Amino acid sequence: MIGRFMAAEAEEPIVQIRELFKVYQQGEINVTALNGISLDITRGEFLTLMGPSGSGKSTLLHIIAGVDRPTSGSCHVQGIDVTALNESELADWRNHNVGFVFQTFNLIPVLTAYENVELPLLLTRLSSGERRRQVQTALELVGLADRQHHLPRQLSGGQEQRVAIARALVTDPSLIVADEPTGNLDSHSAQDVLTILQSLSRSAGKTVIMVTHDPKAAAYGSRSVHLEKGELSN
Amino acid sequence: MALPVRYSFRNALVRWRSTLATVLGIALVVFVFVLLQSLAAGIEKSSGNTGDPRNILVVRKGATAESASLISRENFRQIQYFEEIARTERGEPIISADVLVLINLPRRNNGGEANVLLRGVTPRGMELRPQVTLVAGRWFTPGKREVVVSAKLARRFANFDLGESFKSGTAQLTVVGWLDGGGSAFDSECWLDADEARAIFERDMYSSFLIRPKDEVAGTNLIARIENDRRFKLKAEKEVEYYRKQTMTAAPIKWLGGFLAVMMSVGAVFAAMNTMYAAVGARTREIGTLRVLGFRRRAVVVALLIEGGFLAFLGGVLGCALAFYWNGYTTATLGFETFSEIVFQFRVTPLLVIEGLVFAVIVGVIGTLLPAVRASRLPVIVALKSV
């Protein structure tokens, strides 16, 4: 699973964003969240998106990941313009190409760690044996193979986030997006999570895009991009 | 691809406090539905369980029940010589001319009064109804003012204990035995000697004839012969057919059961809807996460429908279990055919249980549909940002 990405070409742009605008309507006022952003992200890069609250970093991340749509502009991921896909196509595309890590972990509380990690694989054609192998590999990668039968409430915050990372990894996506993944964690757990994300980029060739407020967290990335009022500031 | 069913089941069970009210609400609806339908089934079963398929019953044309029928003695004399009728070893025709009279008697424990069906029956008539057995005391002696009452009626009417007597018309009838109709309509009757009945109630005419034809073909011919003979103005049909049609009493109970169930199910649908709106509201972000992972709207709707349907199914099982507690319980009502007290048992049949469960699941699915569709239509990003 991981080996395929080791062979990927390091400099190939996986994300190409051109003239991206996102305008929200709040009552009678238009709020510009993204103001003509253009950005390339190369394969295997660990990009951190930084900036103050309301700068548009999460909006940009959501558009790249295909969970939000821009008002105008294009966003190509691996050559596919995700802004042109319909709801169903986007759902399939996300399942195959993107792994998500949220600030609040977003695990399904009634499912065990194993079942949570297995969820994205249920949408594939893999046999139950193949699914089991991939889930085990993903859980071993985040060091939680021994916690697979635990429900989320039986895990610590750091463990929950590691399960979420395993869930993001399990379909072997090219892109992993993380929205403030350490925001709810103590410093020790945050360090664990950031180390895993960094190794995914460095060793497994995954492209990781992470939104964070924390400069210490951003230091784990290979490149940092700052947003200010919907525009790139550097 | 659908979400795993365990997701729906566990979600339904994890919020057990909030969903208990829905389960109980649906259980109540199903209980009322199944119980009322089991009443109707009991009445139908009692009628459908009555008679011998070989026997032919003759009543006056237009009479809806034996008790409303009058047949002349001349008709009896003419019909008894028909060659289609089977005969005993001594050459006597196997035909019984019965007299049925409704009498008003007091219930036990000052429970008011009700009509009871009194059947004046011949020894031949008793032979033609082998499903009626004596369970206490003895049979009446012909020529004496004695009566054998249904054991099930004896529990409901005053003066029906063995040795007790009650006044009927000018006569004082003494209870000498209890009969058991084997779950048939005869459980709602009291029997006495046919000649005594005619004398006491000053009846010159009979109510019905019960005939045993020689064989199946003779039976068909006999029915046609009686029906087509203009002298008689009589209606002949198989005894079992006659009783199978005596289910008019069940119709309003069935209707009431259906009506109450529909009315109550409206409330149950809202209860299910309320529960599922709350469940969906509390899980909006979770639903957003599922959508982000690649599950389509349809998968979310199906998962929530399974959850609502599962809750309702639990309610249905509980409702059926409560109704089943009454299965076999003996009760009575006014029969619309005879206007007399008819005794029957609640019958919770497998079909009724299936109907109750299907009904429950339909209520649950309808109640879940709107919240499920609403949840699935929420944009992913809005669902993810919900608290």
What's the average model confidence in pLDDT over B137-147? Answer: 92
Tell me what the mean pLDDT of segment B140-168 comes to. Answer: 92
Candidates A26, A122, A171, A177, partner chain B, best to mutate (most B CBs within 10 A): A122
Whether B293 sits inside 8 A of A110 (CB atoms) is no
User: Does the pLDDT at position B368 exceed 90?
Assistant: no
A66, A94 Cβ separation under 8 angstroms:
yes
**Boundary (domain end) residue, out of B175, B198, B232:** B232
Helix (H) or strand (E) holding B43: helix B16-48
Residue contact A67–B381, C-beta within 8 A: yes
For position B339, what pLDDT does the model report? 67
Cβ–Cβ under 8 Å, residues B269 and B59: no
Q: Which residue of A has its CA nearest to B5?
A: A111
pLDDT of residue B183: 83
Is the CB of B285 less than 8 angstroms away from the CB of A88?
no
CATH of the domain at A154: 3.40.50.300
User: Which of A108, A124, A126, A149 should one mutate to test binding to chain B, selecting the residue with the greatest count of B CBs within 10 A?
Assistant: A108
Domain membership of residue A117 (yes or no) is yes
Q: Are residues B258 and B359 in the same domain?
A: yes
pLDDT tens, residue by residue, A125-144: 999 999 999 999 999 999 99
What is the arithmetic mean of pLDDT over B189-199?
A: 92
- Higher per-residue pLDDT: B270 or B194: B194
Three-state DSSP state, A162 = helix
ipTM: 0.90
Torsion angle in degrees (nearest 10) through CA of B157, B158, B164, B170: -90
Q: Testing the interface with A: which of B9, B284, B291, B293 to mutate, by most A Cβ within 10 A?
A: B293
Residues B138 and B197 in one domain: yes
Distance CA B114, CA A139 (A): 77
pLDDT of residue B22: 80
User: Would you list the DSSP string of B252-267?
Assistant: HHHHHHHHHHHHHHHH
- Buried b / exposed e across A81-116, counting CB within 10 Å, b at 16+? ebbebeeeebbebbbebbbbbbbbbbbbebbbbbbb
CA A196, A198, A201, A203 torsion-angle sign: negative
Per-residue pLDDT tens listing for chain A (234 residues): 443 334 344 466 899 999 999 998 888 899 999 999 999 999 999 999 999 998 999 999 999 999 999 999 999 999 999 999 998 899 999 999 999 999 999 999 999 999 999 999 999 999 999 999 999 999 999 999 999 999 999 999 999 999 999 999 999 999 999 999 998 889 999 999 999 999 999 988 999 999 998 999 999 999 999 999 999 986
Instruction: Supply the range of the domain harboring residue A180.
Output: 43-57+85-232
One domain, residues B41 and B71: no
How far apart are the two ends of chain A, measured CA to CA in Å? 35
Q: Do A122 and B1 touch (CB under 8 A)?
A: yes
Q: Which residues in chain A have their CB less than 8 angstroms from residue B380's CB?
A: 67-68
The pLDDT value recorded for residue A12 is 62
Residue B275 has pLDDT above 80, yes or no: no
Distance between CA atoms of residues A46 and A206, nearest Å: 8
Report how far apart, in Å, the C-alpha atoms of B49 and of each of B40, B45, B131, B183 are: 14, 6, 10, 7
Q: Which two tokens stand for residue B164?
A: 């007790």
Q: Judge whether B17 lies within some domain.
A: yes
Answer whether residue B254 shows pLDDT above 80.
no
Question: Residue B293: its chain A contacts at CB < 8 A?
Answer: 94-95, 100, 119-120, 123, 167
Mean pLDDT of chain B: 86
- Residue A202: inside a domain: yes
If you write DSSP's letter for every residue of A82-148 in order, what string do you get? GGG--HHHHHHHHHHHEEEE-TT----TTS-HHHHHHGGGGGS---HHHHHHHHHHHHHHTT-GGGT
Residue identified by tokens 């019958």 is B347
B380–A67 CB contact, under 8 Å: yes
Chain A contact set for B286 (CB, 8 A) = 106, 108-109
Count of alpha carbons within 13 angstroms of residue B139, beta-carbon side? 13
Q: What is the pLDDT of residue B328?
A: 80
Alpha-carbon gap, residue A178 to A100, rounded angstroms = 6
**pLDDT score for A234:** 62
* Pair (B290, B347) in one structural domain: yes
In a domain, B23, yes or no: yes
A72 belongs to a structural domain: no
Per-residue pLDDT, A2: 40
Within this chain, do residues B195 and B146 fall inside the same structural domain, yes or no? yes
Read off the pLDDT of each residue in B125-145 and give the average, rounded to a whole number: 92
Tell me what pLDDT residue A107 has: 95
Residue B334 pLDDT? 67
**Is B56 part of any domain?**
no
- Taking 90 as the threshold, does the pLDDT of residue B231 lie above it? no
Kindly state whether residue A7 falls inside one of the protein's structural domains: no
Residue A93 is assigned to a structural domain of this protein: yes
- Residue A159 has what pLDDT? 95
How many domains does chain A contain in total? 1
Return the number of other C-beta atoms located less than 10 Å from residue B65's C-beta: 20
Domain check: are B329 and B218 in the same one?
no
> What pLDDT score does A5 carry?
37
Residue B366 to chain A, least CA–CA distance (Å):
24
Query: Which tops the pLDDT comparison, A217 or B39?
Result: A217
Is B208 inside a domain boundary? yes
Whether B343 shows a pLDDT value over 90: the answer reads: no
- Is there a domain that residue A73 lies in? no
Each residue's pLDDT tens digit, A183-203:
888 999 999 999 999 999 998
Residue numbers in A near B7 (CB within 8 A): 108, 110-111
How many angstroms separate the CA atoms of A198 and A208, rounded?
A: 8
Which pLDDT score, from 0 to 100, does residue A8 have?
Answer: 42
Residue B57 falls inside a structural domain: no
Q: Identify residues of B whose CB sits under 8 angstroms from chain A CBs.
A: 1, 3-4, 6-7, 10-11, 14, 285-286, 289-297, 380-381, 384
- Does a structural domain hold residue B242? no
Q: Do residue B212 and residue B291 come from a single domain? A: no
Greater confidence, A86 or B329?
Answer: A86
pLDDT given for residue A121 in this prediction:
94
In a domain, A27, yes or no: no
> CB-based contacts of A215: which residues, under 8 Å, 6+ apart?
A50
Chosen domain end from B168, B199, B232:
B232
| The pLDDT of residue A78 | 92
Q: Using CA coordinates, name the residue in chain B closest to A177.
A: B292
Which chain B residues are Cβ-neighbours of A167 within 8 angstroms? Answer: 293
From the list B188, B205, B70, B192, the residue with the least C-alpha distance to B122 is B192
Residue B37 predicted with pLDDT over 50: yes
Q: For position A167, what pLDDT does the model report?
A: 96
* B295 and B166, same domain (yes or no): no
Q: How far is A109 from chain B (nearest CA, A)?
A: 9
* Min Cα separation B305/chain A (Å): 17
Q: Are B252 and B374 in the same domain?
A: yes
Sheet holding A207-211, edge to edge: A98-101, A175-179, A207-211, A46-50, A223-228, A231-232
Q: Is B237 part of any domain?
A: no
Pair B263, B202 in one domain: no
In this structure, the number of other CB atoms found within 10 A of the CB of residue B162 comes to 15
- B107 forms beta bridges with B157
Residues B13 and B69 in one domain: no
Residue span of the structural domain in which B377 resides: 5-48+248-385
Contact A94 B7 (CB under 8 A): no
Q: Are residues B123 and B197 in the same domain?
A: yes
Nearest to B292 among A100, A111, A115 (CB): A100
> Residue A11's pLDDT is what?
60
Residues B34/B348, Cβ–Cβ less than 8 Å: yes
- Domain membership flag for residue A25: no
Report how far residue B387's alpha carbon sits from residue B381's, in angstroms, rounded to the nearest whole number. 12
Q: How confident is the model at residue B264 (pLDDT cuts 50, 70, 90)?
A: confident
How many domains, chain B? Answer: 2
- Cβ-Cβ contacts under 8 Å, B382 against chain A: none
Q: What confidence tens digit (pLDDT) does each residue in B56-102 have? A: 999 998 887 888 889 998 999 999 899 999 998 888 999 999 999 98
Which position has the higher pLDDT, B113 or A195?
A195
Q: How far is the C-alpha of B367 from the C-alpha of B361, rounded, in Å?
A: 10
